[in-house]
Amino acid sequence: MRLPHFIVLITLFSLSVIVIHRHPLIADDSTASENQAHLEVMTFQTASGETKPVQTLNDWQKRKTQILANMQLVMGPLPLPEIPVPLELTVLEETTVDGILRQKIAYHTESLERKVHAYLFRQAEVPGLTAAVLCLHQTTGIGKEEPVGMGTKPNLHYAFHLAKRGYVTLAPDYPTFGEYQIDLTTENRYQSGTMRAIYDNQRALDLLQSLPEVDDERIGCLGHSLGGHNTMFTAAFDDRIKAIVSNCGFTRFHKYYGGDLRGWSSDRYMPLIRTTYQSDPNQVPFDFPEIIACFAPRAFLASSPLYDSNFEVSGVQDSIDLALPVYDLHGVSNHLKVNYPVSEHDFPLEARDVAYHFLDLHLQHTPTEIPSR
């Protein structure tokens, strides 16, 4: 039976209205025995170990610091080099696609021995500074080629779509995908593939900021699936990302395959989830409601299809509900959005339209051309 269009809770015409009410198709299967710490987003621990309510922005900064510290317990420490290695951007090849310059590039991130490869879309003529979007790919062997339009899934060609819309877009490989072939088990610089990807993405932001046509105050990040949570993890640690879109990217850990977190524990993700925390969400010291809260006051859109078999939709609704008070505290509750497309694990046209308009709004970007999709 075809479902009515009104169950898509955010439309192109209601981007200024936050929607947090539970949809009747979203199950409520809360686990009474689960660890409550991640649900108490509006509390923080004092130096003496006392739990206190978050009442001020200063209180929230203490809580946010604690969340980021807990993420690093699982992901490993975020690199903070005093002087990062030079990017040394190299253009490997370039072509014009539908009037847009597409460059295949390489640049250093954390080592002078290796360069990350990426595709960069740039407009031939840019009237002044423009907005940019870092576009992160899903789990696919071709890596960066999918979002730039070289893969077989047109719904996931968002780096190309946004470039046709007038954005500068950058699509790099995630470690172990595309041309980023690396044995994570033999690497000692990072405790997780997740943290390696976060730092690589921070260097990608450095690269975007180095481009003369990019307004470094108008940078967004968008990803699907692996790219969706890669976007979220990066944005938690880097405030330069002003607008964040995650499609099919997450659910609360307790609602991920019944709380079995082995899918998060491979070397390309966070192996400590398995070896230290027994793949148990009650032991893992962070969860997605806390990550989303860290985005405030920046704009975040969760695009969560109703029939996504990877990321259970009620865990997305929980996360939005729990993070909302932090946005209220900042006075920007309208910056927190959620959309429930009528689809499975995909990024269909209606969902992309919502996401692209969301980026336009919060990056103050006027589309130069609405692409055919």
Beta-carbon count within 10 A of 124 CB: 8
76 compared with 13, residue with greater pLDDT: 76
User: pLDDT tens for residues 291-314?
Assistant: 999 999 999 999 999 999 999 999
Of 352, 371, 322, the closest CA to residue 135 belongs to 352
pLDDT at 4: 34
pLDDT at 27: 43
User: pLDDT tens for residues 63-91?
Assistant: 999 999 999 999 999 999 999 999 999 99
CA distance 330 to 15: 19
Output the CA–CA distances (angstroms, integers) from residue 18 to 233, 247, 303, in the order listed.
23, 17, 13
User: pLDDT tens for residues 148-162?
Assistant: 999 999 999 999 999
Output the CA–CA distances (angstroms, integers) from residue 347 to 44, 46, 76, 146, 342, in the order listed.
36, 42, 31, 13, 10
Q: Predicted confidence band at 343 (pLDDT cuts at 50, 70, 90)?
A: very high
Q: Predicted confidence band at 187 (pLDDT cuts at 50, 70, 90)?
A: confident
Residue 23 has pLDDT above 80, yes or no: no
What is the secondary structure of 107-140 as a DSSP string? EESS-TT-EEEEEEEE-SS-SS-EEEEEEE--S-
Residue 180 has pLDDT above 90, yes or no: yes
Q: List the single range of 57-66, 123-132, 276-285, 286-295 with lowest mean pLDDT.
A: 123-132
pLDDT at 125: 73
pTM metric for this prediction: 0.91
Q: Predicted confidence band at 371 (pLDDT cuts at 50, 70, 90)?
A: low
Residue 138 has pLDDT above 80, yes or no: yes
Residue 31 has pLDDT above 50, yes or no: no
Residue 9 has pLDDT above 60, yes or no: no
Residue 103 has pLDDT above 60, yes or no: yes
Domain 62-363 classification at class level: alpha beta
Residue 6 has pLDDT above 60, yes or no: no
Residue 106 has pLDDT above 70, yes or no: yes
Going from N- to C-terminal start, the domains of the chain cover 62-363
pLDDT at 35: 61
